[in-house]
Chains A and B, each alone.
Chain A
């Protein structure tokens, strides 16, 4: 059983399109996150949800919108994709201060 699963693993799309990345965790964790890893491997938080409530919303363009239908799911929708959105997007979950469990990442390529 995969603890944190993201789909799709790879996404290639054209500029201007809208796409979604789905994330599900079966660990019973209360908090879920989206991180972006750029081409230099730098990891930066985008959003955090705790029990479906938005807790952290870093400086991210409005084109990015997270949605958490329940505690186990946190999806990321991106409108009007731009070349600069190309990156690896990681979903993660946590409970307390034990560190995160990460999904396997989604490599998004905008052409």
Chain B
């Protein structure tokens, strides 16, 4: 079974600064997908970024980018120019490629507070 670990339960950052959230995972699979989801106080789960394990290039979406280290099984999220609206829980998630329903396994989450 896959496990996903987020070692930072809480983090804070000043507005306009950069912050990196850590995620490690454990799997014996070679092909899989990794995701970061954001959950603001509204409770809605929002997809932030997606990485395919067979692609070496790190995914980027505007101010959000990842550092994917496949050998180390590490998938960190960098938020640049942090904004107050980035305050949320952030979840790292793993999806393996099979026919078993594309199950997402989530980490325990990191609560990020952006301070003015």
List 9 A-B pairs, Cβ < 8 Å: A42-B108, A44-B106, A45-B104, A48-B103, A56-B101, A56-B103, A97-B33, A100-B104, A107-B43
Could you say which of B95, B103, B109 contacts A42, with CB atoms under 8 Å apart?
Answer: B109
Output the nearest chain B residue to A47 by Cβ-Cβ distance. Answer: B101
A88 contacts across to B, CB distance below 8 A: 43
The segment from B21-29, B44-52, B66-74 that touches chain A is B44-52
Chain A residues within 8 Å of B, Cβ to Cβ: 31, 33, 40-45, 48, 50, 55-56, 88, 90, 92, 94, 96-102, 104-105, 107
List residues of B whose CB falls within 8 A of some A CB.
Answer: 33, 35, 39, 42-45, 47, 50, 52, 89, 91, 95, 97, 100-106, 108-109
